Structure 1
Amino acid sequence: MALSGPQKTVIQLVGVVVLMGGLAWASVPFYDWFCRVTGFGGATGVAEQGSDTILDKTIKVRFDASKERGMPWEFKPVEREMEMRIGETGLAFYEAYNPTDRPIAGQASYNVTPYSAGGFFEKIACFCFDEQVLQPGERVQMPVTFFVDPEIVEDREAKYVHTITLSYTFYEIDLPEGYAALEAQAENNTN
């Protein structure tokens, strides 16, 4: 059975739509993977443990904090800057405070600048790996453990980096199911 011109065109258009939809669906996980592997866009790496090599050369790490519009928490780095040897494991803290009368869940997104340093900034542990829930009036200090990979001194562009800025942005997310039920129960008890 031969297809007529209009039928062939419709089948080709449906094929293009399906292909484009598939590419759009795969683009987000592919882009995320690409950024993590290459450090593109300031994405950082994740390491199981610290570096085996610590150089005599130092680097400054600055800490930045912001919130998405409408996020009611207060959020800031405890220490604004530290100087450390390349390869040395660092520990920094960020402070979050929930000034409201309700529990609020948040998730932090992050990046590193300059972007050329992103692939060499390795996090061992970070509050940003998990969602955070703060109760009304709760104040917490959240740690991030990291190091700068000694291979940075061999990279064509990154070897000239003397200061790295680690930035976090907190945004509000839906409370996990257990918390939402507790919040509803507390609301019913006050009425």
Structure 2
Amino acid sequence: MAKMTDTKKTVIQLSCVVVTMGALAWASVPFYNWFCRVTGFGGVTGVAQGDSDVILDKMIKVRFDGSLDRGMPWEFKPMQREMELRIGETGLAFFEAYNPTDHPIAGQAAYNVTPYEAGGFFEKIECFCFTEQVLQPGERVEMPVTFYVDPEIVSDRDAKYTHTITLSYTFYEIDLPDQQAALAPDAETVRTVN
């Protein structure tokens, strides 16, 4: 009888471990995104209220990358792979997302900048990553990001040697808002997200 109690106790403990690990895996991407925004870890960008007041003659290359979290059924990619602009100059890049499924899907973008030391100098003015995105069945969207590289980068001890910055986004699925679940426009619609 004591052996049966020990077996039950072990099964319950292992079940708790499995449930906890599953919950941690499910929450890892949103938690990492939140952690990076709060701490500045992992090349998290800044948020600017407007364009830079200073534009330098020095050029910098910005590359764009897009990926999807495991299980996210969208298609997602940058519409251009890179651009070159002057430090302090405002850039505008677009990413494209497509929902090939027959049901609405909500997503949120986690992002980072490499090299990490350049993250604090990459200033976003507007970005689709600031809010959740809901794509209806067959919907294709163009999502803009407006940004500049802060001229202070040229005087930073670590970041001043940066010639190329990569801005990466990973979309992960989130719970669909109740009011969006009822909407279902015709397939193959295209819109631009602000």
Residue aligning to 2:94: 93
In 2: Cα distance, 1:162 partner to 1:62 partner? 11
Which structure 2 segments of 5+ residues have no match?
Answer: 1-32, 185-194
Query: Following superposition, which runs of at least 4 residues in structure 1 exceed 3 angstroms of deviation?
Result: 28-32
8 Å CA contact retained: 1:104, 1:133 = yes
Larger of the two Rg values belongs to structure: 1
Residue aligning to 2:154: 153
In 1: Cα distance, 2:77 partner to 2:161 partner? 28
Residues 111-137 of structure 1 deviation map (CA, whole Å, 9 limit, x = unaligned):
000000000000000000000001110
1:104 aligns with 2:105: yes
Residues 59-99 of structure 1 deviation map (CA, whole Å, 9 limit, x = unaligned):
00000000001100000000000000000000000000000
Residue aligning to 2:135: 134
In structure 2, the CA distance between the partners of 1:178 and 1:147, relative to structure 1 (3 Å rule), is same
Residue aligning to 1:54: 55
SS in 1 for 2:42: helix
In 2: Cα distance, 1:154 partner to 1:56 partner? 14
In 1: Cα distance, 2:183 partner to 2:59 partner? 48
Task: Give the 5 Å matches for 1:7-22.
Answer: none
The letter of the residue matching 2:39 is F
8 Å CA contact retained: 1:62, 1:163 = yes
Residues 4-41 of structure 1 deviation map (CA, whole Å, 9 limit, x = unaligned):
xxxxxxxxxxxxxxxxxxxxxxxx97864331xxxx31
The letter of the residue matching 2:50 is Q
* Displacement of 1:177: 1.4
8 Å CA contact retained: 2:36, 2:44 = no
In 1: Cα distance, 2:34 partner to 2:79 partner? 33
In 2: Cα distance, 1:173 partner to 1:30 partner? 17
Percent identical among aligned pairs is 77
In 2: Cα distance, 1:77 partner to 1:31 partner? 22
Q: Scaled by the length of structure 1, what TM-score is found?
A: 0.76
Residue aligning to 1:65: 66
Q: Which has the higher helix share?
A: 1
In 2: Cα distance, 1:49 partner to 1:165 partner? 21
